[in-house]
Amino acid sequence: MADKDKAVTAAPEAVRLDKWLWAARFYKTRSIARQMIEGGKVDYNGSKAKPARTVEVGAKIKLLQGFARKEIIVKAISDVRGPASVAVTLYEETAESIARREEEARLNKMAALLNPRPDTKPNKKERRELDQLKHQQ
């Protein structure tokens, strides 16, 4: 049992990119991480990556997580998905990436203010009036 604990705590020498992205908690499952890599949503050191690519410390990874584009630098390697507090220590997001995400969030909030939404859904009469208005133009 002691040998098993040593294997888990020892840093692995080579980890696949899809497994590292999963362990760093960028994607919920390895299959989603693989799909994102194969779909061209992940760049490894400025070039298109493959799921089996070996991750190295110091590598620059650009990835799409939800609607946010992130640029990170690998700080440590792990093939075990642990708690989020441990996953954060595996990478560091670049300052440019953080600034870009904050700017996009600010622009999204402003866009939401410019596109007002009604408090309630339109009733049947109001829907008919909207349909007539749309078809007149």
Domain around 68: 2-136
Cβ atoms within 10 A of the Cβ of 49, count? 23
pLDDT at residue 14 in the model? 87
Alpha helices in 50-123 (DSSP H): 84-87, 95-114
Q: Give CA 22 to chain center in angstroms.
A: 10
Is the pLDDT at 54 greater than 90? The verdict is: yes
Residue with tokens 């990556």: 49
Cβ atoms within 10 A of the Cβ of 65, count? 16
Is the pLDDT at 5 greater than 50? The verdict is: no
pLDDT at residue 10 in the model? 53
Is the pLDDT at 37 greater than 90? The verdict is: yes
Looking at residue 11, the DSSP 8-state letter turns out to be P
Strands (E), 3-119: 42-44, 47-48, 60-65, 68-74, 91-93
User: What is the tally of structural domains in the chain?
Assistant: 1
pLDDT at residue 72 in the model? 96
| CATH number of the CATH domain containing 93 | 3.10.290.10
Is the pLDDT at 31 greater than 60? The verdict is: yes
Which of these, 17, 28, 14, lies nearest to 62 by C-alpha position? 17
Is the pLDDT at 3 greater than 70? The verdict is: no
Who's near 18: CB < 8 A, 6+ residues apart? 30, 33, 34, 37, 51, 52
* pLDDT digits 0-9 by tens, 57-92: 999 999 999 888 999 999 999 999 999 999 999 999
Is the pLDDT at 113 greater than 90? The verdict is: no
Max mean pLDDT among 9-13, 56-60, 111-115 falls in 56-60
How sure is the predictor about 102, in pLDDT bands with cuts at 50, 70 and 90?
very high
